[in-house]
Amino acid sequence: METIFTDVLCVGAGLAGERVAIEAASAGFDTICLSIVPARRSHSSAAQGGMQAALGHCAMGEGDCPDVHFVDTVKGSDWGADQEVVRLFVDRAPEAVREMAFWGIPWNRVVPGRSTYFKGGKEFEKVEPTEKEGFITARDFGGTAKWRTCYTSDGTGHTLLYTMDNKVVQLGVTVHDRVEAIALIHDGETCTGVVTRCLKTGKLRVYLAKATVIATGGYGRIYRETTNAVINDGGGAIIALDTEVVPLGNPEAIQFHPTGIVPTNILVTEGCRGDGGTLLDVNEERFMPEYEPEKAELASRDVVSRWMTHHIRRGLGVKSAYGDHLWLDIRLLGEKHIKTKLREVEEICNNFLGIDPITQLIPVRPAQHYTMAGVRTNKDGAVYGLRGLFSAGEAACWDMHGLNRLGGNSLAETVVAGKIVGEKIVEFLQDYEVQYNTGVIRGEVTKQQERIERLISSKEGTEDVYSVRNAMQSELMERVGIFRNGADLQKAVDNLQEIYGRAKKVGLRSKGAGANPELGLALKIQGMVKLALCTAYAALQRTESRGCHAREDYEARNDRDWWKRTLATWKEGADLPTLDYEPATTYVELPPGERGYGVCKIISCDGEIIGEDKS
Amino acid sequence: MARKLKFNIFRYNPQDPDSSPHTDTFHLEETESMSLFIALNQIREEQDPSLQFDFCCRAGICGACAMMINGRPGLACHTLTKELPEEITLMPLPIFKLIGDLSVDTGSWFRAMYDKVESWVHTDKSFDPEADEERMDNALAEEIYELERCIECGCCVAGCGTANMRGDFVGAVAMNRIARFIMDPRDERSEREYFEIIGTDEGIFGCMGLLGCEDVCPKHLPLQDQLGILRRKMGWSAVKQLFRFGK
């Protein structure tokens, strides 16, 4: 078996993985990144609108500071976040943005003087200060008190990833692309690397490392309608869950983005609304001000997605062959703005919808977008349960997002967490030595070889992997979506358990030779259904509404009983996860209160009932 | 009535000793707004699960899915079948090493390109975490972004006459990258240093000016302009150097 040794192994070469790698390589450690695609195709590249950091240079960001960013983020999380982590994050975000500027990001800059902007369909004027000319500017995003989202047009993830990968190349970090980790190597206490499958040849290869980092992004592809890339199918979360000792944090925390285009679910950025775009219904009338007089289209994503769904349910959606949708209107922003600040949006509309957003409305509806859920780590990025294992970015539940992430905070998290976790790994490695146990390594390799042989020979059955995946995706979409209730969730759990049984009986129709795609999915399908079950089962147990988790049968946020984080592990042979709980945060800078948007119905820590339903 | 589409797809799995290069034919009924992303996945899921191709973002952003579509390089994800005739022939991109069927190894090719053009900001300064960022004119930031939009899909390389004849030609993608750094005041490389990278026949002087690159670029980057500007710059640089050597 080909075996490669390194100090630090980043599984995933998106923004988070590469930022960790840069920190480790800069400190002199041998570092390898693995990626299932060429690094620059990672899903980080698809992030459009921007990265939040409280620089406070632009006129509408005046007075901004990490403290304001902190409050926005905790409120956005509906108090589900670990406040110590949020504090770490907001304090380091400005530095991270400047560092990326130093490395080459062409951030949009402050242009002094008078200019106009749109809010709620109306035009306003602002004056950018002369003394700030040429500093990094920002745009407005949902759930924020200030304009704080730094951007390069609407290709911010793209420029960040290209610049980050340039830095990786400059430092000579090895990137092995088209390599997929299919199992962690561990003895129940220490992680010492991964078993991989080469996606060029199909061969297995072992990587042994003192520190292994899971930075594989989110897993939106367990849902049928998602903005995520096809590669976001949970590889990192699955190999963590397979260890039996590593928990997923808050698997029920799944974000729906308000503006996926219909029918392809491709994202158009929140920047559309941040820059002044509005949402319209079948009568081409705005509806968000009716529900959210204060924030309107710029409430947090969970809130906007819920009101959109609510409005469609009231029969005010636009009928189409692909189901009801609403309209996103950015016509008022004008040609110049769209052609400079919303270029990808324009291209997406032209190419995939055949419409011109300068003159036409964009059909949109909420689609799965982000997994706040992830591999649970402490504030240093060290994964619970295994020494030598770390995680960062969307793959991790660090946990600065709680039950709802703010737009612009995920790009920021990848870069800031990558930096912080990288620093902590460097500290960890200073006096850390590890022994590679050949028995453990061989045991894991043999297990994977046998799995592959069983799939190729259809030893367990002849279930078709694609129909199993489709059944799982539909189940989550229908019953574990934006609004949830006990009866549907119980049904989802029951059905997913049956689907899990089918997943165990998958056999290949093809020969499975080389980089065979059917085998790639078959190796993951049981893990994907396990992730789906973690989401559905944890959602069933959480009998409150918080952030993205909206229970129609438990409408209040219940701080008395549920100000806590779900931890899901999976024991060998089980058909449900084991759920444990920990306090959402032990450090409290901002006690639970009202968010200022969304339905305010709270059972306080003392059991007091606050607020009422607005609908 | 829906059209019946006929797909001729190049097949070869180098990892399978029983496989040899050939074309397979598949038939699909066209559906509304069908893209090649939808069509190829449908073929894989319903007809041949061994079919290899690459998609990632499926939104025209990541550059993973470039292939030869009826003889022309393009992104499969944003190509709608209604824009194509009933018979659709799909081949892998030339120049890049074949992985299998429609999948090629762009990763290794581009990593070599980054190393060759040293695709990063060269500076003697070090980052000061306490200081404000250096100022930049917004118009310049937007100009840099214009060239930074390249998604490294490989279409310009596949569509390039020179690159198809000589394997060491860096292609428009590398020239565009150099143009991006020349424009960026943070990169302190001199004209001479840039000249050493691309002032050769593998670089700007190898370009025959056919401009297939610009025709097939799915992001519509201004490659023609950049190649022209670079050729002028590097030409002058060569003359200046000759003059210096002449003294």
Tokens 């830095």 identify what position? A167
Query: What is the model's pLDDT at position A611?
Result: 86
Where residue A368 falls among pLDDT bands split at 50, 70, 90?
very high
Helices (H) then strands (E): counts for chain A: 16, 25
CA trace torsion A345, A348, A350, A353 (10° rounding): -120
pLDDT tens, B129-146?
A: 999 999 999 999 999 999
- CA proximity to A594, closest of A146, A173, A71, A58: A71
Contacts of B48 in chain A (CB under 8 A): 510
B137/A109 CB distance under 8 A: yes
Pairing of strands A396-397, A389-391: unpaired
Say if residues A329 and A277 touch (Cβ distance below 8 Å). yes
- Which residues lie below 8 Å from residue A33, measured CB to CB, with a gap of 6+? A10, A12, A13, A17, A18, A21, A39, A168, A173, A174, A175, A176
Q: Cβ–Cβ of A134/B136 closer than 8 Å? A: yes
- Tell me if A366 sits within 8 A of A309, measured CB to CB: yes
The yes-or-no verdict on residue B173 having pLDDT over 60 is yes
Cα B195 to Cα A202: distance, rounded to the nearest angstrom: 42
Q: How far is A43 from chain B (nearest CA, A)?
A: 7
Q: Would the CB atoms of A230 and B145 count as touching at under 8 Å?
A: no
- At A334-363, the pLDDT tens digits run 999 999 999 999 999 999 999 999 999 999
Q: Closest approach of chain A CAs to the CA of B162, in angstroms?
A: 25
pLDDT at site A278: 97
pLDDT the model gives residue A600: 87
Strands B66-69 and B22-29, by their bridges, are unpaired
DSSP B82: G
Given the DSSP bridges, would you call strands B103-105 and B97-100 parallel, antiparallel or unpaired? antiparallel
Contact of A517 with chain B, judged by CB distance below 8 Å, is answered with yes
Which is the catalytic residue, given A273, A306, A551, A565?
Answer: A273
- Over 80: is that where the pLDDT of A156 sits? yes
Name the percent of chain A lying above pLDDT 90.
Answer: 98
State which residue of chain A sits closest to B16, comparing Cα positions.
A513
Chain B residue at shortest CA distance from A522: B49
Chain B contacts of A510, Cβ < 8 Å?
Answer: 48-50
Q: Which residues of A touch B63 (CB under 8 A)?
A: 40-41
- Give the pair of three-digit tokens for residue A160: 């960040």
Extract the tokens encoding B166: 């000589």
d(CA A391, CA A462): 35
Enumerate the residues of chain B whose CB falls inside 8 A of the CB of residue A153.
142, 145
Indicate which residue of A257, A376, A502, A542 is catalytic. A257
Give the integer Cα–Cα distance in Å for B34 and B7: 14
Nearest C-alpha in B relative to A107:
B141
- pLDDT at B241 (0 to 100): 84
Phi, psi of A108 (to 5 degrees): -65, 145
Q: Does A130 touch chain B (CB under 8 A)?
A: no
Say which of B16, B118, B219 has its CB closest to residue A513: B16
- The reply to whether A186 belongs to the active site is no
How far apart CA A137 and CA A58 sit, in angstroms, is 5
A166 and B184: CB-CB below 8 Å?
A: no
Residues in A closer than 8 angstroms to B74, CB to CB, are none
pLDDT at A615 over 50: no
Instruction: List Cα–Cα distances, B99 to A288, B11, B129, in angstroms.
Output: 50, 11, 43
Cα within 13 Å of Cα(B187), Cβ side: 24
- Give mean pLDDT, residues A248-260: 98
pLDDT of A367 > 50? The answer is yes
Among chain B residues, CA nearest to A172: B115
A518 touches chain B (CB under 8 A): yes
Answer yes or no: do A229 and B148 touch at CB < 8 A: no
Helices (H), A430-558: 438-456, 465-479, 486-503, 517-541
CB A92 within 8 A of CB A422: no
Q: Is the pLDDT of residue A65 over 80?
A: yes
Torsion of CA A226, A228, A229, A234, to 10 degrees: -100
Name B88's Cβ contacts closer than 8 Å, sequence gap at least 6.
B5, B6, B7, B8, B36, B69, B70, B81
Q: Model ipTM?
A: 0.97
The one-letter code for the residue type at A201 is: T
Distance (Å, whole) CA B100 – CA B62: 20
d(CA A476, CA B126): 49
Distance CA A63, CA B12 (A): 61
Residue B46 has pLDDT above 80, yes or no: yes
| Model confidence band, residue B61 (pLDDT cutoffs 50, 70, 90) | very high
Is A124 in a helix, a strand, or coil? strand
Contact A136 B133 (CB under 8 A): yes
The mean-pLDDT minimum among A394-398, A597-601, B62-66, B72-76 falls in A597-601
Whole-number Å distance between alpha carbons of A614 and A606: 23
Q: Cα dist. A205→A1, A181, A196, A199, A471 in Å?
A: 6, 9, 5, 11, 32
Section A198-207 average pLDDT: 98
Residue A347 in contact with partner chain B when CB distance is under 8 A: yes
State whether residue A549 sits within 8 Å of chain B by CB. no
A292-315 confidence digits (pLDDT tens): 999 999 999 999 999 999 999 999
CB contact under 8 A, A348 and B59: yes
Å between B202 CA and nearest CA of chain A: 21
Length of chain A, in residues: 615
A171 in contact with chain B, both atoms CB, cutoff 8 A: no
Average pLDDT, stretch A262-271?
94
Task: Flag if B114 and A166 touch (Cβ within 8 Å).
Answer: yes
Q: Do residue A104 and residue B121 have CB atoms under 8 angstroms apart?
A: yes
With cut-offs at 50, 70 and 90, classify the pLDDT of residue B245: low
Q: Is A21 in a helix, a strand, or coil?
A: helix
Interface contact flag, B152 A515, Cβ < 8 Å: no
pLDDT at position A613 is 52
Q: What pLDDT is stored for residue A614 in this prediction?
A: 45
> Cβ distance A379 to A82 under 8 Å?
yes
**Residue contact A107–B141, C-beta within 8 A:** yes
Question: A41 vs B186: CB contact, 8 Å cut-off?
Answer: no
Tell whether omega for the bond before A263 is within 30 degrees of 0, i.e. cis. Answer: yes
Residue B222 scores a pLDDT above 80: yes
Kind of pairing, strands A550-551 and A483-484?
A: parallel
* Separation CA A504–CA A431 (nearest Å): 43
- What's the mean pLDDT when you consider all of chain A? 97
The candidate with the shortest Cα–Cα distance to A330, out of A114, A106, A154, A126, is: A154
CB–CB of B16 and A515 under 8 A?
A: no
Residue B247 has pLDDT above 50, yes or no: no
Residues of A in contact with B51 (CB under 8 A): 517
Contacting residues of B for A175, CB less than 8 Å apart = 107, 111
> What's CA B94's distance to the chain center, in Å?
12
| CA B91/CA B7 separation, integer angstroms | 11
Using CA atoms, how far apart are residues A523 and A185, in angstroms rounded to an integer?
Answer: 17
A109 touches chain B (CB under 8 A): yes
Q: Is A257 one of the catalytic residues?
A: yes
Mutate to test the interface with B, among A26, A48, A102, A468 (most CBs of B within 10 A): A102
Q: Is the dihedral of CA A395, A396, A397, A401 positive or negative?
A: negative
Contact check, Cβ <8 Å, A515/B99: yes
Query: Which residues between 469 and 508 in chain A have a beta carbon less than 8 angstroms from any beta carbon of chain B?
Result: 508
Between chains, do B52 and A515 touch, taking CB under 8 Å as contact? yes
Calpha distance A302→A404 (Å, rounded):
7
Partners of A111 on chain B (C-beta within 8 Å) are 138
Helix (H, G, I), strand (E, B) or coil at A597: coil
CB-CB: which of A45, A178, A202 is closest to B107? A178
Contacts of B118 in chain A (CB under 8 A): 170
Cβ atoms of A400 and A584 within 8 Å: the answer is no
Q: How far apart are CA B54 and CA B76, in angstroms?
A: 9
A74 touches A86 (CB < 8 A)? yes
Choose the mutation target among A97, A151, A352, A455 for the interface with B, i.e. most B CBs under 10 Å: A352
A137 touches chain B (CB under 8 A): yes
Say if strands B87-91 and A278-280 run parallel, antiparallel, or are unpaired. unpaired
pLDDT digit string, tens, across residues A421-453: 999 999 999 999 999 999 999 999 999 999 999
Q: How many CB pairs under 8 A join A and B?
A: 197
Is residue B149 pLDDT above 90, yes or no? yes
Distance, CA of B124 to CA of B119 (rounded, Å): 16
Beta carbons of B148 and A158 less than 8 Å apart: yes
Chain B CB contacts of A509 below 8 Å: 49
Q: Which residues 214-273 in chain A show a CB within 8 A of chain B?
A: 229-231, 263-264, 266-267
Tokens of B157: 């390389």
Using alpha carbons only, what angle is made at residue A254 by residues A250 and A260, rounded to the nearest 5 degrees? 165
A160/A148 Cα distance (integer angstroms): 17
Question: B23 has which bridge partners?
Answer: B10
